[in-house]
Amino acid sequence: MSNPLLAPWDAEFQLPPFAKINDDDFEPAVDVAMEQARANIAAIADNPDAPTFANTIEALEGGDALLNRVLGVFFNIAGSDSNPKRQELQRAFSPKLSAYASEITMNTALFERIETLWEARDRLGLSPEQSRVLMLTRRAFVRSGAKLTDGARDRLTVVKERLAVLGTDFVQNLLADEADWFMELSADDLDGLPDFVLTAAKAAGEEKGVSGHVITTSRSLIMPFLQFSTSRDLREKAFRALENRGANGGKTDNRKIAAETLALRQERAELLGYSDFASYKLETEMAKTPAAVRDLLMQVWKPAKVAANRDALVLTERMHADGINGDLEPWDWRYYSQKRRAEEHDLDEAELKPYLQLDRMIEAAFSCAQKLFGLEFRALDVPLYHDDARAWEVIRDGQHLAVFIGDYFARSSKRSGAWCSAMRQQQKLAGDIRPVVVNVCNFAKPAAGEVALLSFDDARTLFHEFGHALHQMLSDVTYESISGTSVARDFVELPSQLFEHWLAVPEVLSEFATHAQTGEAMTKDLLERLLAAQTYDMGFATVEYAASALVDLAFHEGAAPVDPMARQAEVLEQIGMPHAIAMRHATPHFAHVFAGDGYSSGYYSYMWSEVMDADAFEAFEEVGDAFDAGLAGKLEKHILSAGGARDAEELYTAFRGRMPGVQALLKGRGFAAQ
């Protein structure tokens, strides 16, 4: 076939032929792959033979293999290296794929076969993994409307198609606002900015076609600017640009999209027999109910707000001492907090950052994976979708395990944030299929010839996303539908957040935190100061996160708000949001919640998982060895390799022997004594 997306992939490890793929190849490839998938589904539904697990469930597992292969490439590229053509294709594909999914779940004959198997499940002799896949498949069909009739079925299909379109529009509007805004700095605007910020701002200027220094909304650039710039006016301008993404009026404004999305989600839930969308969404998560989510969030919110308000008083005094009267504002917090940290912990970001080289932090993540799980990483020289991306073969005991791709630098064609995805997932049904896993970040790119430096928060992000990658790479299940990160949303962050703990292990930093100029290891004194400051400003970090999670929950519990911005303001007033702290993600740029259903009613998941990750790392602390082989083996067996083969609570209990309470989380955030 002339279309490289449809032809056999004969490159090493069957990697996509990136060098041969043209944007014009995607649409015809999707059309062909979807036609093939429809034919496969029809063959399953119309099979005259009695339904069996093999001819129905396993056939469904592989029915859209070609479509998944094509879309795995497209959506990875569209998110990390967008262009007008790819955005146009996203807009075209969204309703088409939603309609295709509805065709499957609304196929009466197909669902009848699944129901027949479900009713006979105790007599089928299924393995535990097969029983799990049957349950999850049937549940997905029911929750997608398979039991609805006539008008309700048709309306649900329309609702889901519209939601798919709105999610795509939301992301593209946000990307446009982020790509369009930048702030040029004159020589007089550089006061207070350390060399690493100046270098990153210069590189950002080059990317924008500007000869001088530029600040963009990339978090790795704008956050240190807010920390160090002595110009309060410029800090305010930068902060407002960050805060107003998706709310600037005009065609990229996301506020009406958010309102329509919430209304349609409520309608979707009611069509399926639920009182509200939160009840529908949380039914399949570990939390189960909105009440359980709110209980956890409020257990953490209360001590976090006490800490944040206490810190705000200290920072306000510092600001007043500078001759600035009035209230501490959100664009002041990071500036005065940085000064306070430098004094109280003798820790300055400018002193720390040269020790956190991107390449050395990648090596550190690889080293931890080697010590814990025996993984080796061999650099690959292969064509990829962008020059900034790089790849490694993952090997264990001489055997190929996965391909890992890292794409670390911010660019205007990449959506904000950081994420892990898989161009191909692990499975055994179609052979020993090994995954191709991608980590995408938005670190500030250095000027040509300069070393890429990270903040400690950046380094933590790198470890976080690599934890997700390990969940994919170590997956060892038969069925793709339960492979890797295909788990409950409030369980999926456990491996990622748990792996963050290894960044702060002293022996890891001692080996890999080496100075970019001198090559010397981080001094013992600096290492001790860094680790002592781990919970510094944790009130601020917890408040900005928990506020977003509480607003997300309020959006989806009860009737959908007509005006989401008014509802957001109402929630923040009810919980007593500190004036000088903004939500981590305000509604118009809350992509976790409005880019799709993934984290809708589910932004709390990071904290739910943190309850487990704090407790899980305590297991290593209890034995006095962060690389204890026995515990690492249990972690891989019961969590990292298991995917969704068992219930999340069962998996965690198998690893730890019990479910945890919130105490380890409070201790880890420095709130245990409050």
Positions marked active-site: 465
Report the 10 Å Cβ neighbour count for 150.
7
Task: Report whether 542 contacts 304 (CB < 8 A).
Answer: yes
**Helix H or strand E segment including 396:** strand 390-396
246's CB contacts (< 8 A; 6+ apart) are: 170, 173, 174, 177, 252, 253, 254, 255, 587, 588, 589
Cα–Cα distances (Å) from 377 to 393, 394, 466, in that order, read: 6, 5, 13
DSSP bridge pairs for 406: 390, 439
Residue 385 half-sphere exposure toward CB, CA atoms < 13 A:
25
| Contact by Cβ (8 Å): 103, 141 | no
Give 185's strand partners. 213
Amino acid symbol at 143: R
3-state SS, one letter per residue, for 43-65 = HHHCCCCCCCHHHHHHHHHHHCH
Nearest to 464 by CA among 438, 496, 509: 496
Instruction: Please report, for residues 77, 78, 106, 530, the alpha-carbon distance to residue 22 in angstroms, rounded to integers and kept in the order given.
Output: 12, 13, 34, 47
Distance CA 499, CA 374 (A): 15
Angle at 148 between CA 146 and CA 154, to 5 degrees: 95
The candidate with the shortest Cα–Cα distance to 364, out of 95, 627, 180, 7, is: 627
The SS3 of residue 558 is: coil
Q: How far apart are CA 505 and CA 526, in angstroms?
A: 14
CB-CB contact of 377 with 394 (8 Å): yes
- Round to whole Å and give the CA distance between 259 and 478: 41
Q: Classify burial at 547, counting beta carbons within 10 Å of its beta carbon; exposed 0-12, middle 13-18, buried 19 or more.
A: buried
What is the rounded CA–CA span in Å between residue 29 and residue 40? 16
Report the run of H or E that residue 638 belongs to, with start and end: none
Contacts of 370 (CB under 8 A, 6+ apart): 376, 377
What gap in Å lies between CA 449 and CA 445, rounded to an integer? Answer: 11
Sign of CA dihedral 176, 18, 448, 450: positive
Quick one: how far is CA 290 from the chain centroid?
A: 22
Tokens describing residue 277: 């969308």
216 neighbors 241 (Cβ within 8 angstroms): no
